[in-house]
Structure 1
Amino acid sequence: MHLNNFEFVENLDNYIEDKFYDNLKLKVKELFEKKKCSCNSNCFEKIGYEQFLKRRVEFESLDKVMRDMVVKGQLMAFQQEENTKKTTAINRKFSRFKYCFNNDLPICRSTYQALIGVGHSYLDNVIKHLRENGLEERIHGNTGNVPKNMNRVDVNYDVANGIFNFLKNYSDIHGLPSPGRNFNKISMPVVFLPTSYSYMSVYRDYVQAYKDEYGRETRAVAESTFRKIWKLLIPSLQFMSPKSDLCEKCETMKLEIQHTTQHEKKLSVTENYLAHLNRAKEERDYYNANITRAVEDGKCNPNRTESQVFFKTFEGSAHITYDWAQNVQVPYSPQQIGSLFFRSPRKVHLFGVCNTGNFPHTEQTNYVIDEGEMPDDGKLGKGVNCTLSLVWHAIQKYNRGEKKLVITCDNCVGQNKNNYSLFFYSWLIDRGLYEEIELNFMIPGHTKFICDSCFGLIKILYRKSRVNTVDDVTSIINRSTIVRLNTSQRYLNGEGFQYYNFKDFFQSFKKLPNVQKYHHFYFNSQHPGVVFYKDRLEDNYKEATIHNCTYATNILPSTISPRPLSLKRQEELYKEISSYVDLPFRDITCPKPNENETS
């Protein structure tokens, strides 16, 4: 039994033979795609894929002795002439061969070798043996000698089939189906073994089971042979790699699948698990489709972000994603002093807004915010006002007159998935920026998207760089990609962007109950003040009114000033962190505290 398209399917009796044939077809297909022909005459194309595959299968079915005899017979037919060339002491015969397919289609030697499935050395050895011994059988030099390893196990079909059946049953007991994103060349879904397992641990279990079946004195195949057969016959059985930020629901069901002994309950939990994965895959496909649509629309959009663009002048859609990254620290060095790990360096916040449809290049604006530049709105964290202010700045920057905006983000309640976000996008409709806005939240635990990729590129360069100031972080962001996928944006005392008090501005709006339960929201200019919402993609939209009173849509919310560092924090940086900063930059990153600052 194995997983196929997220369903359990029984293995046929000829499963191994079918896999061998599938692998052979893949090899032949790769040969035709590479077209490595030594004579540059496209010998592969002359033969044709079907005839080539048929002949290759015929040769693969021959045993060693029969294959040698067939190749020798063909070489005798291919032989053209024998020239004698005088050397210093002996005469050597040089044979020339005219390789053919079906005796009438000339082909080069490399194509012939691929046709019969042999290498250059094998063919040279057969030619040499034919010249010296004629049609006599080739006998290995060790034939008749006593083997050094008297306990060596011969690998035949029964041994390979036994290993395959063991691994198949082993995967049914211990394996966990993959989320469907990992497929091998034969398009079989990957089944993962837990991270605590290894090739050696599975091999030890195989040896134990083998001895229990055939007796304690019976010798099993070596671990290297076991691993080779595993990779050849069942490459879809793999090991999980250590990961973080996993889906809690997935992990809970995986543990239940792994430790449940009742067959019916195991199947029931597995069905629920696969249903959850299918939903996550549907959401992922929808996210990718939105990106593709935005890119295609971007190719047709004549407007450019560098010029003044009027809103709603292009019949197309834009797609943005946004997220907060983990803070980076200043100072930082790849050769970090150990004692700094017990201190609290200066924190720099990163918020990324990615415009995936910015043809011809996707671009992510990374807002670099020092801990002394966060908005003074009663919270020190990354709250609603800070997040929406940055999104508002990015939307104005990226707008190219599209009539529809699609947004994808994660499920963080404090920053993204809350009523104030719904009020904000309804406000954009009321201001006349878009005719339609679609807000999508990915399934919890399955929220990795393009923003995380951009943050990862920044972190790669950050870990290799010496960082003394916030400006160094900005430089790292701008240098993290060659094609300017990542760009930076500083606050610059309000010249870069402003913070707005959206929470107070939306006080008259009506909250949607249980907003965390839903994943898709929709707004349009035909229904101002109305939000359409649903949980799943296939569900029908419900609607709710979030404001029905008139208000001045052309007025921006009041601005919020940054909260400066407290005197206590300034003293901490000056006394404990400044010594880790290079001397020329200490007054920038860890200046002497301002005595007029209140704590």
Structure 2
Amino acid sequence: MRELSRDEKDMYIMGKLKSKSTGIDRSQRKRQRYIYNYDDREVCIEAFLIMHDIGEKHLKNLAKHMKLNGPVPRCHGNRGKKPKHALSFPDKLKRVVNFIVRYSEEYGLPLPAVPHANDATQAPVLLSASSTKIDIHTRYKSVCEESNERSDVCPKCESLRCRVVGAVSEEDKLTALNDYKRHIEVSQDSRQEGPLYFTSPRKVQLFGVCMEGVAEQYNYLIDENCTIGVDGSQSHGPNSVISMLHHAFQEYGLGEMACHIHCDNCAGQNKNRYVMAYFCWRILVGLHREVTIRFQIPGHTKCLVDAGFSYIKKLYRRTDNDSFSDLVRTVQKSSTTNRVVVVDERFLWRDWKTFLAEDFCSLTGIRKYHYFRFSAMNPGVVFVKETSVDDEKPFIMSRNPTPELSCRILPQVIAKG
């Protein structure tokens, strides 16, 4: 059956459909009943569908077509009709083709010869892997919107050309020619690499916070001149992690009073006394009613944030990133769920270590635990478990039974760089 064409298969199946005779004109029946047979034996509809390699919807369409038109080949309703959104070659389609050809000449990499075992007459042109079809279509739309006549000439060049044509005196024409020439030179110079090169690459730190409730991941990009410590020596410490985590809660939180957090098992960044003290502080000041933190066990260190990072790395490897702004665009384009948060001069790093060490003590044996729970029913206390099946153990982290804390009192700001 699979060796037959679609029309041949339809005609064969319609020839095997037999209507059950009930003494009533079948044209008056709303639902026609058929006898299904195979090799001169009556079979059920399920066996008939499997033996003829069709679906139930396909069979119903054939029965409806045969009832209305008889055993004749089916024809699509749009055959011979031209869609209203189709492009005509003389004007619109030719303009699109010209744009793609010029785009490939400007940004493409032509191969020296036609690849082996290829019937093409001309060598193909390879486009950059960082440019998708959506990017090229967006660029074409912007070009069409900028030009009223929808040509490939920019409005600036067109206005300067009109000045040259409409000049009356020789002085006006010379001035217009100089302006036009200067405009062309500036556009050409902006595409050059420039004379400056660096002996070491620019270092940018990446920190991600994924909020599963809104299906968005906020990626903090930290330039090397906006980090903590000399040459970013403290960019992975508790002060930076808690500062960005606090910023994510305050700026992108939904006002939730209970949250569940999953993070990797890194002791220097996440699993330390200061991060635990920060969540205990949020419970005491009333920013949350309950916080549950789960750490992956060794060997299972991938969480939802790493999925967003994988999209960034995949696009980063095949994209030219010559500046910090290029990296921002790469992260933004990597996925529909990735958002960029640029840590600039307005971002505030705070000294959370000194602030939290005064009111909270350390947790003995913190590395062996993978479950932490803070609750407003027991303020200043953390409940821990080594595995999910163990019983919770309470530990008191607050040094003062009745600490005087407020969410308006925050740690001191740390200078950048």
| Bin for the TM-score computed over the shorter chain | 0.5 to 0.7
Matched, 1:504 2:343: no
- Which position in structure 1 is the counterpart of 2:201? 345
- Which position in structure 2 is the counterpart of 1:487? 339
5+ long unaligned stretches in structure 2: 1-8, 19-35, 55-196
Q: 237, 240, 262: which one pairs with 1:386?
A: 240
Conserved? CA contact 1:478–1:486, under 8 Å = yes
RMSD of the TM alignment (CA)? 3.3
- Which position in structure 1 is the counterpart of 2:83? none
State the 1:106 CA deviation: 7.7
**1:90-129 correspondence runs (5 A):** 99-100=37-38, 103-105=41-43, 111-112=50-51
**1:452-467 correspondence runs (5 A):** 452-467=306-321
**1:489-568 correspondence runs (5 A):** 489-494=341-346, 497-508=347-358, 509-549=360-400, 550-554=403-407, 555-563=409-417
In the superposition, relative to structure 1, how do residues 101 and 527 fare at CA in structure 2: closer, same or farther (>3 Å)?
A: farther
Distance 2:213 2:264 in 1: 19
Q: C-alpha deviations, 1:70-121, integer Å up to 9, x for none?
A: xxxxxxxx9x9xxxxxxxxxxxxxxxxx952771248798743569xxxxxx
Q: C-alpha deviations, 1:319-338, integer Å up to 9, x for none?
A: xxxxxxxxxxxxxxxxxxxx
State the 1:438 CA deviation: 0.4
Matched, 1:421 2:275: yes
For normalisation by structure 1, the TM-score amounts to 0.38
Where 1:511 maps in the other structure, the secondary structure is: coil
Conserved? CA contact 2:290–2:375, under 8 Å = yes
Conserved? CA contact 1:410–1:444, under 8 Å = no
State the 1:353 CA deviation: 0.3
Conserved? CA contact 1:384–1:420, under 8 Å = yes
Distance 2:229 2:381 in 1: 31
In the superposition, relative to structure 1, how do residues 514 and 100 fare at CA in structure 2: closer, same or farther (>3 Å)?
A: same
Distance 1:102 1:433 in 2: 77
Which one-letter code corresponds to 2:377 in the other structure? Q
Q: 367, 379, 387: which one pairs with 2:220?
A: 367
In the superposition, relative to structure 1, how do residues 472 and 101 fare at CA in structure 2: closer, same or farther (>3 Å)?
A: same
State the 1:374 CA deviation: 0.7
Matched, 1:408 2:262: yes
State the 1:500 CA deviation: 1.0
Conserved? CA contact 1:99–1:112, under 8 Å = no
Figure out how many residues of one structure are paired with residues of the other and give that number: 244
Conserved? CA contact 2:380–2:397, under 8 Å = yes
- Which position in structure 2 is the counterpart of 1:91? none
**1:171-320 correspondence runs (5 A):** none
Matched, 1:357 2:208: no
State the 1:39 CA deviation: 5.5
Which one-letter code corresponds to 2:228 in the other structure? P
Conserved? CA contact 2:226–2:344, under 8 Å = no
**1:469-480 correspondence runs (5 A):** 469-480=323-334
Q: C-alpha deviations, 1:253-290, integer Å up to 9, x for none?
A: xxxxxxxxxxxxxxxxxxxxxxxxxxxxxxxxxxxxxx
Which one-letter code corresponds to 1:458 in the other structure? I
In the superposition, relative to structure 1, how do residues 404 and 39 fare at CA in structure 2: closer, same or farther (>3 Å)?
A: farther
Q: 229, 242, 247: which one pairs with 1:376?
A: 229
Where 1:462 maps in the other structure, the secondary structure is: helix
Which one-letter code corresponds to 2:357 in the other structure? Q
Which one-letter code corresponds to 1:553 in the other structure? S
Distance 2:319 2:372 in 1: 42
Conserved? CA contact 2:372–2:382, under 8 Å = yes
For normalisation by structure 2, the TM-score amounts to 0.53
Identity %: 35
State the 1:553 CA deviation: 2.3
Distance 1:455 1:530 in 2: 34
State the 1:392 CA deviation: 0.6
Conserved? CA contact 1:100–1:106, under 8 Å = no
Which one-letter code corresponds to 1:486 in the other structure? N
Matched, 1:448 2:299: no
Where 1:504 maps in the other structure, the secondary structure is: helix
State the 1:492 CA deviation: 2.1
Which one-letter code corresponds to 2:277 in the other structure? F
In the superposition, relative to structure 1, how do residues 109 and 544 fare at CA in structure 2: closer, same or farther (>3 Å)?
A: closer
Q: C-alpha deviations, 1:427-466, integer Å up to 9, x for none?
A: 1111211110001101112011221111111112111211
